């Protein structure tokens, strides 16, 4: 990106002044190097988002921002319904409520190293992974609706976990206002057999060791110490979320002109929050969020079963669960006034700072855990929402590394089998139904997550707490 188009406001903050159709400025939080490496398309997309009706304060980009469908991935934008604000299917993304959760194991590195191969095989045998993977749960129509309304709370009531899990999930595992009737039969049909499955692409279940602590107080509050083994699960709402995105994107493109919305890019298709289409999308999108929360809850149950088979008596309590493709109704202070806003976070994580009323009491002093998935074979990170983050980008931070090259290019450069062998030689066991998928997810096909995390820390979005290094990866 051409830095001359931007005004530097701090070492890690860049302003794109409002010109032309922009109603508000754009703001990018990243180091000079990361901004310079971003595609010009990111600037164009930030400017486009800044021109949407009812946008509040600014269109934001996180340090891992890259070109996405309509909105950039790593984009944050809030809208006021009373000011003509909109909701956008492309602003949430296709994998609704894709996210990460991390579980404690109570085990240390040496405990797991002894039985690593058996653990990898036990997890791979129990965690359905890959394109079109199906599980052992088959939902009828009534159960489907109950799941879409209840999210992880439904999963816990069905026997997949405990109330303690719910206390460590955003919105206690169930977002209000989900409307199963707004979800198409096609979307439900695609999900019928996909509960408790990982999916493909960059989704994974990983066994990791805490390799370094950066913030002792936050680590203590989160129950983390160097050498601890944890499990992280990265996945979303599978076929259901994708179908909801497809259905509503189409509808929003068609309805936009009649709603008085002229779009510089049809991928920005959106609907007024107060319109019936906007309300139906919100209801369906929230059902998609609940589906993802239920899915990660069931996968947690499966992981617990695999661990118990190898390490009898081991419990896997939930540290936290975050979503990074959502639109959430939240209260935020803007120019001194509290306002109800609809915050789109697409490839961006909620990152509430210390003292926020929605945090579990045990984390309130240090801020929300922000879980950052690395690429296969590289580090993942646990951050803590920084003080004042609500005044910066509505309480948001980065979500991951972001691709550095296309899947196609990665496939040309690497072979899945060679990558699996190479990682095994470094002590990282990969289990995947697809060697092609492994090649597409080659570590070097992604940007350096460390640089993204450093920028997030230094920009005051979310601070470094712990680095996690992979031991076993079940790859979709």
Partner DNA sequence: ATGTGC
Binding region for DNA (CB under 7 A): 94-95, 98, 131-132, 186, 190, 194, 199-203, 235-236, 238-239, 242-243, 407, 434, 436-437, 441, 476
- Give the number of other CB atoms < 10 A from CB of residue 391: 14
| In the complex, minimum distance from the CB of residue 47 to DNA, in angstroms, rounded to a whole number | 24
| Nearer to DNA among residue 190 and residue 464 (C-beta) | 190
* Shortest distance (Å) from residue 187 CB to DNA: 9
Query: Of the two residues 353 and 437, which places its CB atom closer to DNA in the complex?
Result: 437
The answer to whether the annotation marks 178 as part of a ligand binding site is no
Smallest separation, CB 134 to DNA (Å): 9
List 138, 344, 399, 408, catalytic entry: 399
Q: Is 325 annotated as a binding residue?
A: yes
Q: Which is closer to DNA, CB of 48 or CB of 97?
A: 97
d(C-alpha 430, C-alpha 376), whole Å: 9
Q: Which two tokens stand for residue 237?
A: 């709402």
Ligand-binding annotation for 188, yes or no, is: no
> What is the rounded distance in angstroms from the CA atom of residue 469 to the CA atom of residue 471?
7
Is 373 annotated among the ligand-binding residues? yes
Distance, C-alpha 189 to centroid of its chain: 24
Dump strand ranges (E) for 313-447: 318-323, 325-334, 337-346, 349-350, 369-372, 380-385, 396-397, 429-431
Nearest to 346 by CA among 115, 78, 139: 78
22 known ligand binder = no
Give 390-423 as a DSSP string: HHHHSSEE--B--BSS-HHHHHHH--HHHHHHHH
**Active site (annotated) includes residue 138:** no
- The three-class DSSP label of residue 50 is helix
Radius of gyration of the chain (CA): 21
The answer to the question of whether 212 is labelled as a binding residue is no
Residue closer to DNA by CB (options 206, 441) is: 441
Q: Which residues are 57's β-sheet partners?
A: none
Residue 121 annotated as binding site: no
- Local structure of 403: helix, strand or coil: strand
Alpha-carbon gap, residue 336 to 35, rounded angstroms:
30
Q: C-alpha dihedral over 403, 407, 411, 415, to 10 degrees? A: 50
Min dist CB 458 to DNA, Å, is: 26
C-alpha 56/C-alpha 413 separation (Å) is 43
Q: What are phi and psi of 227, to 5 degrees?
A: 90, -10
- Output the smallest distance, CB 470 to DNA, in A: 16
Nearer to DNA, 113 or 409 (CB): 409
Least distance in angstroms from the C-beta of 241 to DNA:
7
Nearer to DNA, 98 or 302 (CB): 98
CA angle 62, 395, 221 (to 5 degrees): 105
Rounded CA separation 263/394 (Å): 25
Tell me the β-bridge partners of 234. Answer: 100, 204
Q: Between residues 98 and 218, which has the closer beta carbon with respect to DNA?
A: 98
Shortest distance, position 270 Cβ to DNA, whole Å: 18
- φ, ψ dihedrals at 109, nearest 5°: -50, -45
Measured at the alpha carbon of residue 376, what is the angle toward residues 343 and 298, in degrees to the nearest 5? 60
Q: Residue 416 annotated as binding?
A: no
In the DSSP assignment, the letter for residue 205 is E
Between 25 and 91, whose beta carbon lies closer to DNA? Answer: 91
User: 402 a known binding residue?
Assistant: yes
> Closest approach of Cβ 11 to DNA, in Å?
30
The answer to whether 446 and 401 have CB atoms below 8 angstroms apart is: yes
The reply to whether 168 sits in an annotated binding site is: no
- Return the H-helix or E-strand segment holding 213: strand 204-213
Query: Which residues make up each annotated binding site for GMP?
Result: 202-206, 324-325, 373-376, 380, 399-402, 475
Residues with catalytic annotation?
399
Annotated binding site for Mn(2+): 95, 203, 234, 324
Binding residues are 95, 202-206, 234, 324-325, 373-376, 380, 399-402, 475
């Amino acid at each position: 990106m051409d830095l001359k188009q931007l005004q530097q406001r701090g070492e890690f903050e860049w302003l794109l002044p409002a010109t032309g159709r922009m109603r508000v400025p754009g703001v990018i939080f990243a180091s000079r190097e990361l901004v310079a490496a971003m595609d010009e398309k990111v600037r164009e997309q930030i400017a486009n988002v800044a021109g949407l009706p009812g946008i509040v304060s600014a269109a934001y980009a996180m340090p891992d921002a890259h070109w996405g469908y309509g909105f950039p991935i790593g984009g944050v934008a809030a809208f006021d319904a009373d000011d003509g604000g909109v909701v956008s299917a492309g602003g949430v993304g296709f994998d609704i409520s894709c996210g990460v959760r991390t579980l404690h194991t109570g085990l240390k590195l040496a405990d797991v190293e002894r039985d690593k191969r058996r653990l990898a095989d036990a997890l791979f045998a129990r965690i359905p992974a890959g394109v079109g993977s199906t599980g052992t749960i088959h939902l009828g129509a009534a159960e489907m609706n109950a799941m879409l309304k209840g999210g992880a709370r439904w999963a816990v009531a069905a026997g997949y976990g405990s109330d303690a899990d719910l206390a460590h999930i955003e919105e206690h595992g169930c977002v209000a206002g989900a409307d199963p009737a707004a979800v198409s039969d096609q979307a439900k049909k695609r999900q019928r057999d996909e509960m408790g499955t990982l999916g493909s692409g960059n989704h994974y279940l990983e066994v990791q060791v805490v390799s370094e602590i950066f913030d002792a107080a936050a680590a203590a509050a989160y129950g983390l110490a160097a050498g601890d083994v944890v499990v992280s699960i990265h996945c979303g709402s599978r076929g259901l979320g994708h179908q909801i995105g497809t259905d509503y994107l189409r509808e929003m493109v068609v309805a936009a002109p009649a709603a008085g919305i002229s779009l510089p890019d049809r991928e920005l298709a959106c609907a007024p929050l107060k319109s019936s289409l906007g309300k139906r999308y919100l209801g369906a999108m929230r059902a998609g969020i609940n589906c993802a929360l239920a899915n990660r809850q069931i996968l947690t149950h499966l992981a617990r079963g695999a661990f118990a088979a190898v390490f009898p008596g081991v419990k896997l309590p939930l540290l936290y669960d975050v979503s990074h493709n959502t639109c959430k109704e939240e209260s935020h202070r803007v120019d001194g006034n509290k306002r109800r806003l609809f915050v789109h976070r697409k490839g961006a994580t909620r990152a509430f700072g210390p003292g926020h009323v929605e945090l579990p009491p045990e984390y309130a002093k240090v801020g929300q855990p922000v879980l950052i998935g690395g690429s296969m074979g590289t580090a993942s990170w646990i951050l803590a929402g920084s003080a004042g983050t609500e005044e910066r980008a509505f309480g948001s931070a980065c979500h991951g590394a972001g691709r550095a090259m296309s899947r196609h290019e990665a496939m040309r450069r690497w072979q899945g089998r060679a990558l699996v062998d190479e990682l095994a030689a470094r002590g990282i066991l990969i289990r995947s139904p697809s060697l092609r998928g492994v090649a597409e997810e080659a570590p070097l096909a992604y940007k350096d997550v460390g640089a993204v995390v450093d920028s997030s820390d230094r920009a005051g979005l979310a601070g470094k707490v712990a680095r996690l290094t992979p031991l076993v990866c079940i790859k979709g």
